Structures are given as C-alpha cells and as structure tokens.
Amino acid sequence: MRRATDRQGIKFVDEYDQTFMGVIIFLVILSIIDGFMTLHLLDQGAHEINPLMSFCLDLGPWFFLASKFLLTCSGVMCLLVVSNSQVFGDRIQVRDVFPAMLFLYLVVMAWNSFLYAIV
C-alpha cells in the first residue's frame, strides 16, 4: 500500500521487467529498420517530409542514421526514466505510452512496406 503523497510527482525507476525492456529494444530496432527503409525509398525518388530528418539527410546517410538512432534512444531513455509517473491529470502512466509507440512504429513499417511495393 502506497501513501497518497508517494503517488504524486515524478517517480524515477531503475529496475524494469523483461517484457518492458523487450518493448523498448524492439522500438529501437524498428527505428533502425525505418532509417534504412527510408534511405532506400529516398533512392527510389521519395522525399523526407520531417524537416529535422531532412536536415540530417543533407549531411549524409550515416549522419541521418546516427541522428535517428540517437534521437530515438534519447526519447526512449527520457520516457523510461519517468515510466512510473502519471501524466494528463494522473489518467495515464508514462509506461503505458510505450505500447502506443510500438503500434505507431508498426504502422510506419506497414506504410514503408506498402511504399516498397509500389516503387
């Protein structure tokens, strides 16, 4: 049983279960795959619409891939550190955002696969 004051504010966590870490590792892997798929699609005539990633592409494909990896890892790490905190008026636990991120990345992978098929 936790005190009400223990449930308020930001909670930092340093232990994570295997399933949760698996989701995080899968997110990073999907980000890397997305980067390589993006490079392939760009070679086929597609355009990067994300201005930050477009800037990174202007500096070269390896800079683009490294930037994508570092930005993804940085975002995931920030969310991971506060994963037991509540947001939106204590309605959502930060930890619950990860499955939604995983779903969105899978949608991106499906979209990239569709684009692969038509180019």
**pLDDT tens readout for residues 62-110:** 999 999 999 999 988 888 888 777 778 778 888 888 888 889 989 999 9
Q: What's the rounded Cα separation, in Å, for the pair 119 and 107?
A: 19
- Please determine, for residue 55, whether its predicted confidence score (pLDDT) is greater than 60: yes
Longest dimension (CA), the chain: 58
Q: Quick one: tokens of 102? A: 């995983």
Tokens, residue 32: 């890397």
> What confidence category does residue 1 fall into, taking pLDDT thresholds of 50, 70 and 90?
very low
Between CA 118 and CA 66 the distance in angstroms is 28
